[in-house]
Amino acid sequence: MKRMTTPAFLRFLLAGLCLVAVTACDSLDDRLEETNTSPIAANDINPDFQFADVLLRMSGDRFETWRANLIYSSVAVQQNATLVSYWCGDKYLACESYTAAFWGRRYDDPVRNLTDLITSTADDPQQINRNLMARATRVLLFHRLTDLYGDVPYSEAGKGYTESILQPKYDAQEAIYEDMVEELTAVRDSLDPAKPTFGDGDLFFGGDVQQWRRFANSLMLRIALRHVKAAPSKAEQWASSAINSDAGLMQSNDDIAYINHADGPNGINDNANGQVFDFVGPAPPYLSQRFVTWMDSRDDPRLRVYGEADGDPAVGLPNGYDNEGENPIQQHPSYIACEGSPEPDPCGTDVYTRPNGVLLGVDDPMFFQTYAEVALMKAEAIERGYVGGNAGQAFRDGVRAALDYLSMYGSEADISASDIDAYVDERGTAYVGASTAERIRMINEQYWAATYMNHYESFANWRRSGYPDLEESPVDMEGSYPGSATAGNFIRRLTYPVSEASQNTENYEQALSQQGIENVLDARVWWDQDSGQYIGDDG
């Protein structure tokens, strides 16, 4: 596997950051004084620089990552918890500027540059690999967008300059997924090892065509399983296509789709999660009670990698509480007051487990899809009867990979081979003795644990699978947090920006109508059907 070293890719990117975003699309207000003529010709841009810039912007900056990945997704799926009110997702509060952040940042440079890159490489047979890799990347980008929001501008997105579309329609999520599978199929089947690639500009795979083919199948498998409730026949068809393709799925942790980051200069060269934790200071999140309890009850060696605790055993913070406010943590049984002589140690909020700094560096990698996720999804596809194979072995492979890949954060995150073997053997034995429905639960709880820090994906997979079985926030109490925008119901999506209602009114209203929802946090996206946790079983 060819990967650029951090200094190399950083020098490469800095050389290319002179490029200018050349397409337009989605917010009318910043286009009112523009013409419909591109400010520079597409062929003036080095496509390798352009692609590297897109990937780093998709990896994210502090602004939208803090809001969408951490403030909403991480706490909605109860991997993290906080005591501060501006982490709105923990208490089911509606903070429109936060829910809109991811939308604004992705429909800005990444969508524009990908649209231009795909258009500029479409008619040149020598550019087939660049075109297909850009199209796979566009799938990855819109996959996350539609999972977070539901119906979104897709087919007309990024076409302000090319087709003068300044108010793009919202495509139905079902149709978006249909097209994304077609795109990934084309990528998988048409990449040509004899043709040029983005080379070092490909921050995922360094231009390795076979790894891109495996990634296309792996992403297709994820998309397939989003359909297990909404369209199970498509789930089976697409999962079978991905798993049985001669290109294969990811084969090991060497195939992980991730981006290296550097400690400076600031901005998209840094890991965005690390930027946030470098900034939050006295208002950090903690690992949630649900997450810590789940790992502790299984002697999961990831607990000491994910968290730092002052006491033993580790204690997670319950979701939905504050510090001496509307719902004070001081009233929760887990809280230990700093009273007496000597004072208990730990006491106060020091009782609770904090995220481990080893995962929070600005020079840490950012993960988009791991082999662990893929192996676990393969196990589920086998259990559901979509394909043949040994589900137990795929489950064990996924659990092992999820523990082993953490070493990519640095030696402090290493888990010893003996600890990995013991955990895999224990979980694998439990899996063999479980019912099919119970195995589905085990797979998806492991998926939840394996996607810590990629909370976007944790949040999406919990909604489509129903696992883990969470308790609405605030946990351990009746009622909802004062000011809850959902009346205590789970958050199930992010809300559209209010600017869409005024600047793209007709398409915005049509999008809500075709989904049968209001623009609220607890509305369900199309594939998030309320039809039980396991199709065909009461489990």
pLDDT of residue 266: 74
Of the candidates 456, 503, 489, the residue with the CA atom closest to the CA atom of residue 74: 456
Domains of the chain in sequence order: 24-278+359-515 (1.25.40.390), 287-297+305-355 (no CATH)
* Confidence check: pLDDT of 74 > 80: yes
Tell me the average pLDDT across 226-238. Answer: 97
How many of the other CB atoms lie within 10 Å of CB of 330?
A: 13
Q: What is the spatial distance between Cα 156 and Cα 159, in angstroms, rounded to a whole number?
A: 6
pLDDT of residue 24: 29
Start-to-end CA distance of the chain, whole Å, equals 41
- For residue 161, what pLDDT is reported? 73
The per-residue pLDDT for range 443-485, each reduced to its tens digit, is 999 999 999 999 999 999 999 999 999 999 999 988 999 999 9
Confidence of residue 15 (pLDDT cuts 50, 70, 90): very low
Q: State the pLDDT at residue 14.
A: 47
pLDDT at site 56: 97
Please give the pLDDT value at position 2: 41
Average pLDDT over residues 433-438: 96
Backbone angles phi, psi at 302, to 5 degrees: -70, -20
State pLDDT tens for residues 339-371. 999 999 999 999 999 999 999 999 999 999 999
pLDDT value of residue 377: 99
Supply the mean pLDDT for the chain: 91
Measured in whole angstroms, the distance separating CA 518 from the mean position of its chain's CA atoms is 24
The pLDDT value recorded for residue 534 is 52
Q: Name the pTM for this structure.
A: 0.93
pLDDT in the model for residue 256: 98
Q: What is the pLDDT, as a whole number, of residue 13? A: 52
Q: Scan for tokens 């795909």, then name that residue.
A: 118
Q: Which of 494, 485, 495, 70 has the alpha carbon at shortest distance from 271?
A: 70
The Cβ of residue 489 has, within 10 Å, a number of other Cβ atoms equal to 15
The answer to whether 268 touches 362, Cβ cutoff 8 Å, is no
What percent of the chain lies above the pLDDT cut of 90?
85
Cis bond upstream, residue 346 (ω within 30) = yes
Give the pLDDT band of residue 538 (cuts 50, 70, 90): very low
pLDDT at 282: 63
For residue 162, the model assigns a pLDDT of 78
Contact between residue 242 and residue 224 where contact means Cβ atoms under 8 Å apart:
yes
Side-chain-side CA neighbours of residue 155 (13 Å): 11
Nearest to 405 by CA among 441, 369, 445, 448: 369
Query: What tens digit of pLDDT does each residue of 178-212 get?
Result: 999 999 999 999 999 999 999 999 999 999 999 99
Report pLDDT for 263.
Answer: 85
pLDDT at 537: 45
pLDDT reported for residue 192: 98
Per-residue pLDDT tens digits for 125-169: 999 999 999 999 999 999 999 999 999 999 999 998 778 899 999
pLDDT tens-digit readout, 19-58: 333 322 333 233 323 323 343 344 467 999 999 999 999 9
CA nearest neighbour of 72 among 60, 94, 88: 88
Count CB-CB contacts under 10 A for residue 506.
9
Angle at 142 between CA 141 and CA 143, to 5 degrees: 90
- H helices within 199-324, ranges in order? 209-225, 232-244, 272-279, 289-297, 303-306
Q: In the chain, what percentage of residues exceed pLDDT 70? A: 90
